[in-house]
Structure 1
């Protein structure tokens, strides 16, 4: 208040000095003085209202404190002298808090500032929570979009898999119908002679043996019926040895003069070709080093099993195939059955190797 009065007096003095120097400035100076006076009155009224407000706040706090102290109950089980001491302390505390003047206004102002600070802290916390909630909402929206895309992809994959499954079922039904027709044909004609067809891409030439593949629709029973009747026990023992897992078959190529030539013709094996590896055997194994180290049953080792069984049983490769189809269990069929493309490759290699040996071998040699 004193500061405002000093400012006002200084403004009056400055204005009077300017008016004496230049009387024509009187209208503007009067208007400026009027505005200054009006502003000063407004500030005084505002300060008075603030003073009244603080006084009301102080009275309210004092009253609340007084009610709190007066209504505080002392437990009944407290002894009489202790009860008197507590009640006296309450009265003394009340009289201490009821101090008026600058100390009361200072306390009131302090309490109001603490409340204002607490409110601002809570407001800041709420803003931070709102920002975090907004961020989480955006993140959840992105995740929902991603999940929807994945769900659509899974749905499309399921539809494609269903279509593929139905196609496979139809193909299996067709194969089953073909098998039923074959079994019916075998039942009607037990002495049915198998039909053969030439290997694709191979041309027939005179004075050379034709390597043939079995017709899938024909029966192989007649090819092995005579061999089974001649040596049933020995035949089965050789078959179990040739098509048993975990056997050392490096010696099975001993005495097979055509096997090294067949290996050179058939390399790289299917596993090395699929992986783009160099197919070599540095340790004298019938399989390549990669298949031995990886414990892989490649088509070359499977072909050796068929060829060993055929040589030891006095059969040819076609008869060993037929015997395998009749006597192999489920495990052997899943592990040692080869596709038509692989058999075509082996038969083509056999024909090429045998043709290269024709000048050396007799033309009446049997096909092994």
Structure 2
């Protein structure tokens, strides 16, 4: 994997370890000077999109702060409101099913599982894990992230039990799964045991997925964020006529280390108001784009046997929290986060979250009017 160690060393001198996070609104007010500073590095179109995205995220930040202030006056636990908590981690399809059948949110989380009490255990485990969001933000604010942090937070999702995953994967809390050897047999074992695959390469759905994968790979190649084609094991995806496409199971720890270094560097770049971005061949990212890219990057690596979706959304929401933004309404994206192109993923996540903030505002209006019809509605209930 290529890496410019001189630039890394230079960056470690220029950038402080401890950060005091800036917000999208603060950055938006400085976007003119930031754009001028980066005009020689990025196109006018890229800078304009950056400014527009900062303005949009400032609106999200302001809306969320207003909701938080209102909820405190009303003594309403906004974080546990059905529509906010559930749609961060539950597919909308499942949420609407629970709404239609009046089934509490904890029992629809990964609702394909039986029996229903088993699902509640999974929800409780997951919520204990997600309660680490503030800790993630504090860590990101005060010091560099480490692999040990990721492993500790992964253990946090299995405090009640080591519940098995979708395909009876043992979660092995706090441990990366071992990468297979480089052999046909090991690849087949990895496919059959760990990874998604698409079998019919001629189907329209698979062709569309392959096109999206090329876009995802292209983005990461453009900024030298993954390895080169000289060793396919460094890529995110493997292709084969018989197997379709699988997420690459090789070098999981080294890929995660590379991502951790990126997180530590880019959070300092943002805090420094992009002053030192000129020293790096990195994309121009707003705070929320940074958070969404990290989620997508880590879920593509898929370093754990189980709990990858939860862990990646924990890091995403920890970064969002760091910048004064809400937990993102990304449950709807859980099945497409791997193959959705980077910018499309960000735009979908932003749109879903803004829709949910509006719904939360309507709920709080009902609480302010003391409307039992609203307070007791499925969307506005507080999860018990």
TM-score when scaled to structure 2? Answer: 0.24
Q: Which has the larger radius of gyration?
A: 1
Where is the helix percentage greater, Structure 1 or Structure 2? 1
TM-score, normalised on structure 1? 0.24
